Amino acid sequence: MHNVDTLIHARWIIPVEPEGAVYEYHSLAMRDGRILDILPTSEAGAKYRSHTVLDLDEHALIPGLVNAHTHAAMSLFRGLADDLPLMEWLNNHIWPAEGAWVSPEFVADGTRLAIAEMLRGGTTCFNDMYFFPDETARVVEDSGMRACVGLIVIDFPTVWAGDAAEYLHKGLDVHDRYRAHPLVRTAFAPHAPYTVSNGPLEKIRMYADELDTPIHMHIHETADEIGQSMAHHSERPLQRLDKLGVLSPYLIGVHMTQLTDDEIARYAAAGGHVVHCPESNLKLASGFCPVQKLIKAGINVAIGTDGAASNNDLDMFGEMRSAALLAKAVAGDASAVSASAALRMATLNGARALGLDGETGSLRRGKSADVVAVHLGGIESQPVYHPVSQLVYATGRDKVSDVWVAGKHLLKERALTTLDEIDILAKARQWREKIKKYD
CA 187 to chain centre: 13
List pLDDT tens digits, range 219-276: 999 999 999 999 999 999 999 999 999 999 999 999 999 999 999 999 999 999 999 9
Whether 158 contacts 424, CB under 8 Å: no
List pLDDT tens digits, range 395-437: 999 999 999 999 999 999 999 999 999 999 999 999 999 998 6
pTM of the model: 0.97
Mean pLDDT of 105-118: 98
Cα separation, 234 vs 69, in Å, equals 29
The alpha carbons of the chain give a radius of gyration, in whole angstroms, of 21
Residue 287 is given by DSSP the state -
Mean pLDDT of 312-325: 98
Give the 3-state secondary structure of residue 144: coil
Whole-number pLDDT of residue 1: 82
Question: What is the residue extent of each domain of the chain?
Answer: 2-64+365-406, 65-353
Whole-number pLDDT of residue 89: 87
**Do β-strands 215-219 and 53-63 pair in parallel, antiparallel, or remain unpaired?**
unpaired
Long-range Cβ pairs for the range 43-50 (8 Å, 24+) = 44/7, 44/9, 46/1, 47/1, 47/2, 48/1, 48/2, 48/3, 48/4, 48/7, 49/1, 49/2, 49/3, 49/4, 49/7, 50/3, 50/4, 50/5, 50/6, 50/7
Cα separation, 48 vs 39, in Å, equals 11
Any idea which architecture 65-353 has in CATH?
A: Alpha-Beta Barrel (3.20)
**What sign does the CA torsion over 169, 173, 179, 185 have?**
negative
pLDDT band at 198 (very low <50, low <70, confident <90, very high): very high
Prior bond to 18 cis, omega within 30?
A: yes
List, as one string, the DSSP characters of 350-381.
Answer: HHHHTT-TTTSSS--TTSB--EEEEE--SGGG
pLDDT band at 336 (very low <50, low <70, confident <90, very high): very high
Residue 131 is given by DSSP the state S
**Do β-strands 23-31 and 273-276 pair in parallel, antiparallel, or remain unpaired?**
unpaired
Cα separation, 343 vs 339, in Å, equals 6
Helix residue spans in 186-270 (DSSP H):
198-211, 223-233, 237-243, 261-270
How many angstroms separate the Cα of 68 from the Cα of each of 59, 149, 291, 403? 25, 11, 15, 18
Per the CATH hierarchy, to which homologous superfamily does domain 2-64+365-406 belong?
Urease, subunit C, domain 1 (2.30.40.10)
Give the 3-state secondary structure of residue 288: coil
**Do β-strands 408-412 and 400-405 pair in parallel, antiparallel, or remain unpaired?**
antiparallel
